[in-house]
């Protein structure tokens, strides 16, 4: 069952729109028309986050990292690597200024910085996986 109610009444932040986050994984493992659709779905999901979730706050729930920031933390580190491997750029600073600022704020937090996997190591791992379905 996919929940489709708003997370906060009146916010416009709908779980069904956020669920499109799986499109990023599809984008990474596809090409051609399938990848184009996944890119479109990924951009729609990011636009929802940009317009309805962040506002003018430093983090999702205010000035301190919360569980919501941790849940979206993959966007800060993993998405950049998946974009590079797939040859697709999703988060442009001019298109997603709030999300771009949040990524910088998130990655600059000492506890996050100390625990993020290294970008180069992630590239070594993900490059051989790009363009093929994950093993089940």
For residue 37, is it within any domain?
Answer: yes
**Domain extent at residue 119:** 15-128
For residue 10, is it within any domain?
Answer: no
CATH code (residue 41)? 1.20.1050.10
Residue 95 confidence (pLDDT): 95
Q: pLDDT over 70 for what percent of the chain?
A: 76
User: Binning pLDDT at 50, 70 and 90, where does residue 112 land?
Assistant: very high
Task: Give DSSP secondary structure letters for 22-77.
Answer: HHHHHHHT--HHHHHHHHHHHHHHHHHIIIII-TT-SBTTBSS--HHHHHTHHHHH
Nearest to 60 by CA among 111, 22, 7: 7
User: Binning pLDDT at 50, 70 and 90, where does residue 9 land?
Assistant: low
pLDDT tens track for 50-109: 988 888 889 999 999 999 999 889 888 888 888 888 888 899 999 999 999 999 999 999
pTM: 0.74
Question: Which of the pair, 14 or 88, is modelled with greater confidence?
Answer: 88
Q: Is the pLDDT of residue 18 over 80?
A: no
Total structural domains in the chain?
1
């Amino acid at each position: 069952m996919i929940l489709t109610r708003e997370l906060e009444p009146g916010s416009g932040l709908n779980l069904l729109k956020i669920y499109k986050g799986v499109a990023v994984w599809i984008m990474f493992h596809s090409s051609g028309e399938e990848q184009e659709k996944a890119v479109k779905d990924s951009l729609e999901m990011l636009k929802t986050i940009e317009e309805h979730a962040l506002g003018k706050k430093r983090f999702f729930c205010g000035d301190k990292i919360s569980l919501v920031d941790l849940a979206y933390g993959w966007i800060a580190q993993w998405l950049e690597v998946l974009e590079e491997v797939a040859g697709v750029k999703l988060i442009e600073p001019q298109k997603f200024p709030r999300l771009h600022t949040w990524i910088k704020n998130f990655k600059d937090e000492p506890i996050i910085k100390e625990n993020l996997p290294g970008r180069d190591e992630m590239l070594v791992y993900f490059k051989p996986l790009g363009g093929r379905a994950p093993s089940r």
